[in-house]
């Protein structure tokens, strides 16, 4: 989504909505900047910005240690999520999106249009840094620290999505357990 469209959405959120619920993970400074647009728009519209719930979808890969995290990042299931990034995002990492230069994101991802070998090649082409940009990656303590950075700039409701749950039942259990552990720490300091 283009920057001007994001600003327009943030303005509309401040003017009309009860919640701000972005799914695109951004650094805390960018989250704060976008939330300030929501806040200013709410004030301009005569609304109390504190009544707008500042949320964030946080897709994450949780491993018990760094070695496990790296193993999860190499899994096809997690790498597949990198195909959700637009061709423009891929270009920021110096590579062409394997699904084409006009690819805009999940709305264009039609797996039935590609052979198994084409999809596997596309998954293998996902840049590692793109994965790390689009989701939080690390041990539960590392993830919690990064979420707290977002809380410090205004996040009030984290929607945790454990991408590592796509890999195996054991990784699903660890990822979901990590979500519960992080939620408890966030609620109780």
Q: Where exactly are the structural domains of the chain? A: 56-189
Per-residue confidence (pLDDT) for residue 13, from 0 to 100: 80
Per-residue confidence (pLDDT) for residue 16, from 0 to 100: 82
**Which of 183, 136, 141, 185 has its CA nearest to residue 162?**
136
Let me know if 112 is exposed, middle or buried by CB neighbors in 10 A (0-12, 13-18, 19+).
exposed
Per-residue confidence (pLDDT) for residue 112, from 0 to 100: 85
Residues of the chain with pLDDT under 50: 1-2
Per-residue confidence (pLDDT) for residue 6, from 0 to 100: 59
């Amino acid at each position: 989504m283009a920057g001007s469209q994001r600003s327009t959405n943030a303005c509309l959120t401040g003017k009309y909505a009860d919640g701000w619920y972005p799914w695109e993970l951004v650094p805390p400074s960018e989250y704060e900047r976008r939330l300030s647009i929501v806040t200013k728009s709410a004030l301009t519209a005569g609304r109390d910005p504190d009544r707008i719930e500042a949320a964030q979808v946080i897709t994450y890969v949780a491993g018990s240690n760094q070695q496990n995290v790296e193993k999860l990042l190499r899994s096809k299931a997690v790498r597949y999520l990198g195909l959700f990034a637009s061709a423009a995002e891929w270009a920021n990492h110096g590579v062409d999106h394997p699904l084409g230069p006009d690819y805009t994101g999940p709305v264009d991802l039609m797996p039935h249009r590609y052979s198994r070998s084409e999809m596997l090649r596309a998954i293998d082409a996902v840049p590692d840094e793109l994965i790390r940009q689009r989701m939080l990656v690390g041990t539960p303590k590392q993830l919690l620290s990064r979420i707290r950075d977002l809380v410090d700039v205004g996040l009030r409701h984290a929607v945790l999505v454990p991408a590592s749950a796509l890999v195996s039942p054991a990784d699903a259990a660890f990822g979901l357990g990590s979500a519960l552990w992080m939620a408890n720490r966030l609620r109780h300091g």
